[in-house]
Structure 1
Amino acid sequence: MVLNFLSQINDKPTYFAEKLTKGLLQNKDIQLREQMIDRVRVLFDADVYACCAPKIHEIIDFNLYFEPHEYIVPTIAVIRKKMGELKCYEMVHISRPFKINGYQNVIIEADKTNLQISVNGRKSYDKAASLKFAVNEGFDTWADFSDYWRPKAEKCRDNIYFGRMIHFTDFRY
């Protein structure tokens, strides 16, 4: 199953290839490390990799379903051409396929001033925990996470987004 990551959000580079690779290399077995060394055709910034935090999970729509321990192929949408508002993307493989490590259910709720996250029914009110969640999702700041997820939640019924978090490591909330 293909899992696609964005190379830019709000015209800002995500560095998801570097962050995901770092997360997998820090938390997976030797076999995966050998696979990651053999990754193909990705625009990879070694300087960013050296200082970025690892991306260890991905929130997907609740209706999308991946089997536990199913292999996923991570790809990234790289902008190849820009013609005004029109952007041309190329899908680039980040790594060889690897197994999903598990799931947790996620609810992202938007009100007028806040974005509230619940994982498996447990709400997080702590700012440090919310920031850690955003960083583990691959965002640099809570503001970046909020700027991306608030519009998605606001488009949902009652401003509540129901999703599923795919884990790439043994870490759980």
Structure 2
Amino acid sequence: MILSFKTKINGKPTYFPEKIWSGLGDVCNKYNYCIDEFHTGLMNVGFDDQRDHKPKLHTIRKDDKNRWKPGMMIDFFINARQKDMFRFAPRIPVVSIQYIGILHYRDNSEVNIDGRYLFPSEVEKLAKNDGFESVDDFFQYFNEDYNGIIIHWTNLKY
């Protein structure tokens, strides 16, 4: 199933494809994939392989119809359903799903995963593992109450 990723949020580059590739080393070795298969195409869409990108190990999505399940194949795309749609990584299976809730109060925001509230240090880890530069960037993107899932393509769990 298609997972589409943005290359910019609020005018800033996300480097999500690069960050996903940064975290795919063990996964690609397991499935005998390598970046060489995608490298030329990635360069054509502005892939930045000159920076040391911290890995994006999962993604957070709405899933109101409970479509995402462990074992389903992930199709990583940018510009999905557009003329310049581009697959930027190999198809790999969903390893696990976790439920996430984000609540905002006046001066505070809370995150729970599978019903357990996270400590601030865990929220920072979640934000970084989801590809955000900071907790502030994470909460700027998820700026309203939110219920969804974390789609994992590695063995990481919270």
- Which TM bucket (shorter chain)? 0.7 to 0.9
Q: Counterpart of 1:68?
A: 70
Q: Counterpart of 1:52?
A: 53
CA distance change for structure 1 residues 162 and 53 in 2, over 3 Å: closer, same or farther?
Answer: same
User: Percent identity between the aligned chains?
Assistant: 28
More strand by share: 1
Correspondence 1:100 to 2:100: no
Letter in 2 for 1:18: E
CA distance change for structure 1 residues 33 and 19 in 2, over 3 Å: closer, same or farther?
Answer: farther
When the two chains are superposed, the root-mean-square deviation of aligned CA atoms in Å is 2.0
Query: What is the number of residues matched between the two proteins?
Result: 152
CA distance change for structure 1 residues 89 and 137 in 2, over 3 Å: closer, same or farther?
Answer: farther
TM-score by length of structure 2 reads: 0.87
Q: Counterpart of 1:120?
A: 114
Q: Counterpart of 1:148?
A: 141
Deviations 1:34-67 (A, max 9, x none): 244312622321122xx22100010110315223
Letter in 1 for 2:154: T
Q: Which runs of 5+ in 2 are unaligned?
A: none
Distance 1:113 1:146 in 2: 12
TM-score by length of structure 1 reads: 0.80
Letter in 2 for 1:149: F
Q: How does 1:1-173 map to 2 (within 5 A)?
A: 1-25=1-25, 27-28=26-27, 30-32=29-31, 34-39=33-38, 41-42=41-42, 43-48=46-51, 51-64=52-65, 65-77=67-79, 90-125=84-119, 127-150=120-143, 153=144, 160-173=145-158
1:28 Cα offset (Å) = 1.5
Distance 2:136 2:36 in 1: 33
CA distance change for structure 1 residues 120 and 133 in 2, over 3 Å: closer, same or farther?
Answer: same
Letter in 1 for 2:152: H
Letter in 1 for 2:10: N
1:89 Cα offset (Å) = 7.7
CA distance change for structure 1 residues 133 and 70 in 2, over 3 Å: closer, same or farther?
Answer: same
SS of 2:56 mapped into structure 1: coil
More helix by share: 1
SS of 1:117 mapped into structure 2: strand
SS of 1:28 mapped into structure 2: helix
Q: Counterpart of 1:82?
A: none
SS of 1:46 mapped into structure 2: coil
Which runs of 4 or more aligned residues in structure 1 lie more than 4 Å from their structure 2 counterparts after TM superposition? none
Letter in 2 for 1:104: Q
